[in-house]
């Protein structure tokens, strides 16, 4: 029903306007229409907008739908469920980098947090989670392993690793998983994951390969994994490596040679040079130049 307007007539006496009865008839119609509309409204129509208990939330409350990344907070002080962001210097920031934080509460001081920090590369974001004790003390961050910070060796074993390059005859390889996930060709004799992007592998001679574009072999953790059979992980050869002052790595592969000593014991040693078998590859973990993560924009992107 359309709003009914009372005719006030002309000033100063109201001549020609609605009579009192006619005026209040219109008032009744208007109120009837108003109350009929109010009856269709839900409970949200009587609530305040805010983040307190019983309030109606708007875009941005607890970080929901916010284009600015949510409230900036130190992870050690984030007890309320929601979506947040933190700086690299904030108390409890994992991985020494800024990032985003999801907080979930089970009531009281029982808090769970999930963090994703800005990565050194897009292919290897840091993911971690932790719990708080009943007294509100945060536990240690537990790193989550994923396809960006692990690799599956030629024998099928999962290893923490990145950046990684695989030495193999890319064109003739019998392994469909050589270029799995983010691995891309690094020349005719290699495949590199995202963090090893820019590395090239060349074959110098039978069983001799050269890796360029890195700072050298990894300075921590494992460095080279011998080629293995996809059927049970049996080792197919023996590798040795060296690197020069420019970080160029040379990897050599040899056949396995068993010799019998005078006491009847078998000893494994290097045999003739061997090209990487077509049903396998050599995993090499590298040290790459540091890439500073991009800073988030100061103002939200529309």
Among 199, 196, 193, smallest CA distance to 151 is for 193
Same domain, 154 and 251: yes
Same domain assignment for residues 202 and 243: yes
User: Is 273 found in the same domain as 154?
Assistant: yes
Tokens of 67: 């284009």
Structural domain of 37: 1-42
**pLDDT score, position 302:** 38
The number of domains in the chain is: 3
Shared domain check, 281 and 214: yes
Under-70 pLDDT residues of the chain: 1, 119-121, 291-302
Diameter over CA atoms, the chain:
133
Whether residue 2 sits in one domain with residue 78 = no
Q: What is the pLDDT of residue 296?
A: 53
Question: Are 174 and 278 spatial neighbours (Cβ–Cβ below 8 Å)?
Answer: yes
Residues 139 and 189 in one domain: no
**End position of a domain, from candidates 101, 123, 143:** 143
Are 245 and 180 contained in the same domain? yes
Q: Is residue 241 part of a domain?
A: yes
Q: Are residues 22 and 113 in the same domain?
A: no
* Residue 60, domain member (yes or no): no
Q: Write out pLDDT tens, residues 175-210.
A: 999 998 789 999 999 999 888 999 999 999 999 999
d(C-alpha 246, C-alpha 81), whole Å: 50
Q: What is the pTM of this model?
A: 0.65
User: Which residue, chain included where needed, has tokens 């040290």?
Assistant: 287
Q: Do 74 and 136 have their domain in common?
A: yes
245/179 same-domain check = yes
């Amino acid at each position: 029903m359309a709003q009914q307007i009372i005719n006030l007539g002309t000033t100063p006496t109201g001549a020609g306007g609605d009579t009192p009865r006619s005026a209040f008839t219109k008032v009744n119609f208007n109120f009837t229409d108003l109350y009929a509309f109010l009856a269709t409204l839900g409970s949200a129509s009587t609530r305040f907008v805010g983040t307190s208990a019983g309030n109606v939330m708007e875009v941005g409350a607890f970080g929901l739908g916010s284009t600015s990344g949510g409230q900036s907070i130190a992870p050690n002080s984030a007890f309320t469920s929601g979506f947040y962001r933190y700086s690299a210097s904030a108390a409890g920031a994992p991985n020494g980098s800024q990032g985003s934080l999801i907080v979930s509460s089970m009531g009281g001081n029982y808090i769970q947090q999930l963090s994703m920090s800005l990565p050194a590369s897009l292919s290897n974001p840091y993911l971690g989670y932790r719990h708080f004790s009943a007294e509100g003390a945060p536990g240690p961050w537990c790193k989550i392993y994923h396809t960006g910070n692990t690799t599956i060796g030629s024998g099928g074993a999962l290893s923490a690793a990145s950046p990684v390059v695989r030495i193999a005859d890319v064109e003739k390889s019998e392994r469909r998983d050589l270029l799995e996930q983010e691995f891309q060709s690094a020349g005719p004799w290699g495949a590199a994951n995202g963090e090893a992007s820019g590395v090239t592998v060349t074959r110098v001679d039978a069983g001799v390969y050269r890796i360029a574009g890195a700072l050298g072999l990894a300075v921590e953790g494992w460095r080279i994994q011998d080629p293995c059979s996809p059927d049970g992980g049996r080792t197919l050869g023996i590798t040795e490596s060296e690197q020069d002052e420019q970080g160029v790595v040379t990897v050599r592969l040899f056949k396995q040679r068993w010799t019998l000593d005078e006491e009847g014991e078998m000893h494994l040693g290097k045999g003739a040079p061997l090209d990487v078998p077509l049903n396998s590859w050599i995993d090499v973990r590298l040290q790459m130049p540091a890439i500073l993560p991009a800073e988030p924009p100061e103002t939200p992107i529309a």
